């Protein structure tokens, strides 16, 4: 059972059943198709079914991998994992680290006091 909705009057409406019954009715709009997605020709006859239309679309718009160029693995240099120690075991290797330039930080102006909490006055 598909999508069944209750109306405000309490009646049940099966949307999938309605869609299935009206699948061959010409759709409203400027495309020449029926409600099922089939392309229509002169006199409302089916020229292409929805499945044929979708196969043509995917044949034209499916990306194909380019195998003519170099692959990542072939061009990648040999990668070795280093332990961070020199081969002579002189301790951990050191690298020159250039400090980033110091940037002035602009702070928001200080708030001297918090706003007073609103308290309604009593009516007299």
Of 14, 13, 43, which Cα lies nearest the Cα of 26? Answer: 43
Question: Residue 77's pLDDT is what?
Answer: 55
Do the Cβ atoms of 15 and 7 come closer than 8 Å?
no
In which element (H, E) is residue 18 found?
helix 15-21
How much is the average pLDDT of 19-31? Answer: 88
Residue 44 scores a pLDDT above 80 = yes
Question: Rounded to an integer, what distance in angstroms lies between the CA atom of residue 25 and that of residue 33?
Answer: 9
Query: Global pTM?
Result: 0.40
pLDDT digits (tens, 9 = 90+) for 48-69: 999 999 999 999 988 877 777 6
């Amino acid at each position: 059972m598909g999508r069944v909705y209750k109306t405000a009057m309490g009646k049940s409406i099966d949307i999938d059943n309605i869609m299935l019954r009206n699948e061959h009715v010409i759709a409203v709009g400027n495309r020449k198709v029926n409600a099922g997605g089939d392309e229509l020709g002169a006199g409302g006859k089916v020229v292409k079914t929805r499945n044929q239309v979708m196969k043509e679309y995917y044949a034209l718009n499916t990306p194909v991998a380019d195998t003519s160029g170099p692959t990542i693995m072939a061009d990648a240099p040999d990668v070795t994992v280093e332990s961070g120690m020199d081969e002579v075991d002189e301790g951990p290797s050191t690298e020159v680290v250039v400090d980033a330039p110091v940037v002035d930080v602009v702070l928001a102006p200080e708030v001297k006091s918090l706003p007073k909490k609103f308290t309604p006055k009593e009516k007299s």
